[in-house]
Amino acid sequence: MARIDVNVDGVQRQDEVEPRLLLVHWLRDKIGLVGTPMGCDTSNCGACTVLLDGRSVKSCSVLAVQVDGSEITTIQGLANGEWHPVQTAFKECHGLQCGYCTPGMVLAAVDLLSENPDPTDSEIREGLEGNLCRCTGYQNIVKSVAYAAELLQGSGQRELAQQLADKEMAQ
């Protein structure tokens, strides 16, 4: 057994883990953060993507012992009392269908936008190429990431506020 000390979603955690335990299994089975789905278990689909020290990684390809001393952000820790702008954009632009790939897509998009705050559609597609969606055809995912870029830059805030106000008035 190996001892790890990891900050997960803002909470410092210490644990004893087997050296061969995958990060995805530690997150889900040992500490109960089931928002990170297990997709393929071979690092092909990206559903299990988390942020490791701010960079997206497929948690099925990282051993838990490798994250000792690191900071992990899961989909459950991304929001801070209110949705992250990328989550909001995915909701507003219908960037999901079944939702299975969504946690990985959202976290990959967060990483992409931290590196490239104003990506083209082509750059978005390239930035998300390691994450598979079998439902949407990617059009609305690309729209979601582009809208998230606007939200993060502040220009989308007025439009979002107006859309939400219009929805409330219609109800």
Query: In this structure, what CATH number is given to the domain that contains residue 16?
Result: 3.10.20.30
- Looking at residue 83, its amino acid is W
Which of 29, 58, 78 is the last residue before a domain boundary?
A: 78
pLDDT at 43: 86
Does 97 lie in the same domain as 72? no
Helix 139-153 to helix 157-170 angle, to the nearest 10 degrees?
110
Same domain, 92 and 164: yes
Q: Indicate if 164 and 140 belong to the same structural domain.
A: yes
Q: What is the pLDDT of residue 155?
A: 59
**11-47: per-residue pLDDT in tens?**
999 999 999 999 999 999 999 999 999 988 788 899 9
- Please tell me whether residues 11 and 71 are part of one structural domain: yes
Q: What is the CATH number of the domain that holds 128?
A: 1.10.150.120
Same structural domain, 28 and 51: yes
DSSP 28: I
Nearest to 127 by CA among 83, 150, 114: 114
Sheet with strand 11-17: strands edge to edge? 11-17, 2-8, 71-73, 49-52, 55-58
Residues in the chain with pLDDT < 70? 155-171
Give me the phi and psi of 145, to 5 degrees please.
-70, -40
**Could you identify the residue written with the tokens 């689909």?**
45
CA 10 – CA 75 distance, rounded (Å): 12
In degrees, rounded to 5, the angle at the alpha carbon of residue 46 between the alpha carbons of residues 17 and 14 is 20
Tell me the residue range of the domain where 135 lies: 85-170
- Domain co-membership, 71 together with 93: no
Residues 157 and 117 in one domain: yes
Looking from the CA of 24 toward its CB, the CA atoms found within 13 Å total: 20
Q: Which residue has tokens 């993060």?
A: 152
Q: How many domains does the chain have?
A: 2
What are phi and psi for residue 80, nearest 5 degrees? -120, 65
Same domain, 92 and 66: no
Which residue, 53, 78, 103, sits at the end of a domain? 78
Last residue within a domain, chosen from 62, 78, 94? 78
Same domain, 92 and 162: yes
